[in-house]
Structure 1
């Protein structure tokens, strides 16, 4: 579950509740993932999930809810070192299907495509991580959306065999000609409950008009 609130360059806040159900299947060097989300947005009707301004703001705050954009992805572990300080490199392709209702302002109504590379380097109890990617924005009716580079950099520290925490800085170019780049810092803590269950909670602070002012969430994972 993820909840965020921000003005996104306007005068009124937009509050977004995002509850995804995600399945991930791993086999060999491959991993496949599918996310089906529920989204509820309360605001002036001009901001969708991801901080994209869709249209001019309304004078009355409304609440819209429903199915969000379904996302499918495939990841290939291109490089994997062994030893005490391994380096891992993953290559991922994603498709964001425009399943969210654009008439309700829940999405753009277009399919987006992205490719990214993730790198992880472990030294002792610390793991440095970084992501660089490129997203091709679909043709959304009535909107001019630009293709963008995005990325992140951060680190994770292993406090114990069961608990770890870290910081991640996320960045993205502006999606619309009149928009702003996206900047946000996430702090998180992850705890392994037992062999099958893991819990994670996080808080977010945004630094631009394309990011929420603040946010937070929690995730529960069950492995089989």
Structure 2
């Protein structure tokens, strides 16, 4: 589920508008993210994650607030909420309100075409999910990101971070590092295509590290509309096998 935010943020960084210091660009958006996989369990778990996000951007700051609807179909006893831990009971479906996430990101270098850009960010996941749709705990993360132009149309993307996970009653989750490496191709000022590899160290004893590959694209219209689409392929047992997602937003 977090991959939707990572991909949307990376694509948005490349398409970030130039705004005056005191001016704020607002971008409300809606998205949908579907994924399925066993996560190392005996049965597959299907997740449908549908977030509503409000983004505010200035010349150096970016703020995001996301409130999602969540549907999970999988073994009874499965735990979700930033992580997925498969249960061992019969397959059931449940749905409702998910955890709210808040984040803030600051550009360390004043954005300029062709220049290396560095940013630092922090986020929090609040335990607002309906019963059995979250861990019931607060999670935190920090991240350092970079975009390095290689030419007028090709840019390398990367990030290093760390995530602190609150422990639900039945599990002791592991804090750990995160990382992303990607490349973006700008076919024109309004069309971006790229691929990312995302890493997260194992969040539970006996689980594999998470490695995900995400190809994506983003189109920006003359009227301020933005469309981002992506796919997901999981490379370890603790990830979904595959997934698809999209985000539609408008900049004001």
| 1:49–1:207 distance in 2 versus 1, CA, 3 Å | farther
Q: Does 1:6 align with 2:34?
A: no
CA distance in 2, matches of 1:77, 1:191: 23
Structure 2: gaps spanning 5 or more residues: 1-31
CA distance in 2, matches of 1:62, 1:194: 44
Structure 1: gaps spanning 5 or more residues: none
| 1:34–1:208 distance in 2 versus 1, CA, 3 Å | same
TM-score relative to the length of structure 1 = 0.92
Instruction: Say if 1:52 and 1:175, in contact at 8 Å, map to a contact too.
Output: no
Q: Does 1:217 align with 2:245?
A: yes
Q: Considering Cα pairs closer than 8 Å and 6+ residues apart, tell me whether 1 or 2 has the greater RCO.
A: 2
| Partner in structure 1 of residue 177 of structure 2 | 149
Q: Give the CA deviation at 1:195.
A: 3.5
Q: Once structures 1 and 2 are overlaid, which stretch shifts more, 149-158 or 73-82?
A: 73-82
Instruction: Say if 2:60 and 2:111, in contact at 8 Å, map to a contact too.
Output: no
TM-score relative to the length of structure 2 = 0.83
CA distance in 2, matches of 1:211, 1:139: 20
CA distance in 2, matches of 1:115, 1:50: 15
Instruction: Say if 2:139 and 2:165, in contact at 8 Å, map to a contact too.
Output: yes
CA distance in 1, matches of 2:83, 2:138: 16
2:214 partner SS = strand
Q: Does 1:48 align with 2:80?
A: yes
| 1:159–1:27 distance in 2 versus 1, CA, 3 Å | closer
CA distance in 2, matches of 1:135, 1:157: 29
Query: Aligned match of 1:108 in 135, 138, 151?
Result: 135
Q: For this pair of structures, how many residues does the alignment match?
A: 219
| Partner in structure 2 of residue 15 of structure 1 | 46
Query: Aligned match of 1:76 in 87, 98, 106?
Result: 106
